[in-house]
Chain A
Amino acid sequence: MSDTPLTHPDNQEPTAFTQAQLEWLPWLAPLPEDELTDRHYAGLVDAARAKSPYFRLLARDPDTLGARTRTDKDIFYNPDAGLPRAERELSATATSRFNGCIYCASVHARFASHFSHREGDVQRLLDEGVSADLGPRWNAIVAASAALSATPSDFGPEHIDGLRAVGLDDYAIADALQGAAFFNWANRLMLSLGEPQLQVGG
């Protein structure tokens, strides 16, 4: 077994945060699709993810991948009350912007724009960073996400107050917290196991 990092010397990396569709190139070999077992497919959760180099790389530890994916889906996709989907995506985008994950930010900025119809505000978050003025409600969610993402965390009662002041109940606050916390997980995988790629002609 020859484990050496994969390098992509000809890759054109994005040098700014963007809502454009990016690709992602792995630095370690994903599992070959024809070597995936039932346990790997259980970890992938959706069989279509076998097409993704990122998920086939994470499938090297299939049980952790499966548990992570199910955590992700409930935090972001469960429609039952709590924070509106657009603002869960805002917490993911703000966290990715703060940590510096251009790939993650691109995906979740598109979702935030799609669900909020506020593409211009989302772009200002990408362009200006987490201090961009996006109105009181989004400012509170972005500030809480960034504070929670600092290491050690800067999150405190003033952030809870800030979220309550713009109308979030405890269910919505918990969604914002979990959205930001989850992207501290996702950002570190995406940033450290591969690199983003501008789409050819994109």
Chain B
Amino acid sequence: MTNTLALQGTVPDVIDLLVGIRPGDALDTVRRHRLQARTHAHTSYLALFAPTAPVPGSVTLAERHAVAAFVAGLHQQPEAAGFYAAALVAHDAPPGLTPAIAAEIAHGAARGPYGRYPAGPLSAEDAEGPVYRVAPTARAVLGARLSAALEHANLLVFRPRDASPQALQELLNAGWSATDIVILSQLVAFLSFQIRVVVGLRALAAHPALPQTTEVQP
């Protein structure tokens, strides 16, 4: 595995890349105003996708990139989806994996959040929605372990309040250890953060404040 510290200087800041922020841009200044958040959003990315040896657990880089491509696809943010789809290809995805992930993105699409609350006053807010299962044809390509990861990732993306010990049991049954589950959960949850920062900053970049001027806009 690669060394995270060695990569820190060479891997471009992914959020800047996906938003299209260049040094000196107004949003570069805004992001650097929270420099620790900017730096550690990126070290979080590196810890998940270029982890430092000895790497805890047994989640392969191919698995990490396959789940990331799936999760980014579900969010339908084009730059992030394209970035993680390309990263999966770059990490020597075995034949058939990339098209299988693309098919599962379409198959797993939904609008969240939905799900159930503990029985009580909040039950009035329970919202039904699809419960995603990997399609049988894709399962043959992905295998039991990666299929279980995609099903859990879809739950975390769209209906996190439906999470349960039983959902973790399904991962354990498919060969995910407790440490592997923490890594998988962090990966999906981190992407839920990173992609939203990209969405928000892209909206801000596309919609700059009007200059402080007395001129009336035509």
Q: Which A residues have a C-beta under 8 Å from some C-beta of B?
A: 1, 3-7, 13-17, 27-29, 57-58, 60-68, 70-71, 73-75, 78, 80-82, 98-102, 129, 148-153, 155-157, 159-161, 164, 169-171, 173-175, 177-178, 180-182, 184-189, 191-193
Contact = CB atoms under 8 A, between A and B. Distances in A.
Chain B contact surface mostly: helix
A56 B66 CA distance: 27
A17 B35 CA distance: 33
Interface of B: 4, 26-27, 30-31, 33-37, 39-41, 43-44, 46-48, 51-52, 56-57, 74-77, 110-113, 115, 117-122, 125, 155-158, 160-161, 163, 165-169, 172, 177-179, 181-183, 185-186, 188-190, 192-197, 199-201, 203-204, 206-207, 209
Contacts of B43: 63, 66-67, 70
B77 A63 contact: no
Given A58-B186, A161-B207, A185-B193, A99 B113 contact: yes
B207 A61 contact: no
A74 B35 CA distance: 8
Nearest to B181: A28
A150 B111 contact: yes
Of A99, A152, A175, chain B has the most CB atoms within 10 Å of the CB of A152
A62 B74 CA distance: 27
B172 A4 contact: yes
Contacts of B119: 15
Contact of B30 (A6, A66, A67, A170): A170
A27 B178 CA distance: 10
A151 B186 contact: no
A98 B177 CA distance: 30
A3 B178 contact: yes
A153 B77 CA distance: 8
Nearest to B125: A129
